[in-house]
Amino acid sequence: MALYLPRVIGHRGAKSYAPENTLESIHTAADIGVKWVELDVKLTKDQVPIIFHDDTLERTTNGSGPVAEMTYEDIRQLEAGSWYGESFAGVKIPTLEEALDVIYERDLGFNMEIKPCPGREKETAEVALDALASSWDNHSNLLISSFSHVSLEVAYDMAGDWARGLLLEKDLPENLRDLVEFFDPKTINFDADTEESAIEELLDLELPLVCYTVNDPMKARRLVNLGVDGFFSDCPDVIEENLPKAH
């Protein structure tokens, strides 16, 4: 099935308007007209897939320490909204299943970024993909990505016909073409700080290029002029409004 990819994907939901990677952030993205959201998935100590970005709790919750040492019960006690704003007090870290329920309810596409805690690359991918497999059926609206090659290989083995995105850091790997051949990605998801000469190298791959994270409309326009196809943005509505009108 062909992948339908919008020009702008809401990063961690809609991170500029609600606490990242929460159900509120997904709802907010839908409210402002976003078609797809990107969310980060990792595992609790007892193997529950949750939506969370960092390896530790400090930045976005009232807890502390490594996520990999917390059970789901521990995670449930935490609060993940007050750091962002008092109106979000009481917001919880969602499980992948809870996030999927909102994604279905709001009819959104989904980029699941597998974001394993160090050393948990294989099991994070296995558990997250299992959870998705039991409920997701529209594969034109789903992209699986990861910086972890171990996680991406699990995706290839477990769900070979689901679209994969190869996530790249700003310094491109020397074996880029080998990686593309091996993982057979449908998209290349690259860093907004990538040098222009390296973006030219990416264009030569002749795959859709999706750039993270772009919140400046001028930058988005410059990248579109270079040949970039889409963006992850914390303020996806602002980027969408300022791109040249789609035909």
Find, among 123, 75, 127, 131, the residue nearest to 98 by Cα: 131
Q: ∠ at Cα 41 (180, 39), nearest 5°?
A: 80
Size, binding site for ligand G3P by CB under 6 A: 11
CB 29 within 8 A of CB 37: yes
Nearer Cβ to ligand G3P (5/167): 167
Q: Which of 27, 53, 139, 149 is catalytic?
A: 53
- Contact status: 212 vs ligand G3P (CB under 6 A): yes
Question: What are the angstrom distances between the C-alpha of 90 and each of 79, 93, 98?
Answer: 5, 10, 16
- Which residue of 20, 24, 40, 240 would you call a contact of Mg ion, by CB under 5 A? 40
> Shortest Cβ distance from residue 212 to Mg ion (Å)?
7
Sorted by sequence, the CB contacts under 8 Å of residue 128 that are 6+ apart come out as 41, 43, 49, 96, 112, 114
Nearer Cβ to ligand G3P (148/189): 189
53 tagged catalytic: yes
Enumerate residues 216-235 that contact ligand G3P by CB under 6 A. 232
Enumerate residues 98-127 that contact ligand G3P by CB under 6 A. 113
- Which residue of 38, 121, 126, 234 would you call a contact of ligand G3P, by CB under 6 A? 38
Separation of alpha carbons 47 and 62, rounded Å: 22
Nearer Cβ to Mg ion (41/75): 41
> Shortest Cβ distance from residue 113 to ligand G3P (Å)?
4
Contact pattern from residue 45 through residue 74 relative to ligand G3P, giving x for each residue in contact according to CB under 6 A and a dash for the rest: --------x---------------------
- Which residue of 28, 124, 141, 189 would you call a contact of ligand G3P, by CB under 6 A? 189
- Contact status: 113 vs Mg ion (CB under 5 A): yes
Q: H or E stretch including 211?
A: strand 209-212
Per the document, the length of the chain is 247
CB 9 within 8 A of CB 36: yes
Q: Which residue's C-beta sits nearest to Mg ion?
A: 113
- Which residue of 40, 121, 234, 240 would you call a contact of ligand G3P, by CB under 6 A? 40
* Matching residue, tokens 């807890």: 63
Contact segment (CB under 5 A) with Mg ion among 74-82, 106-114, 127-135, 200-208 equals 106-114
Q: Is 241 exposed, middle or buried (0-12, 13-18, 19+ CB in 10 A)?
A: exposed
133: how many CB neighbours lie within 10 A of its CB? 12
User: Interface residues with ligand G3P (CB under 6 A)?
Assistant: 11, 38, 40, 53, 113, 145, 167, 189, 212-213, 232
Q: Which residues are catalytic?
A: 11, 53
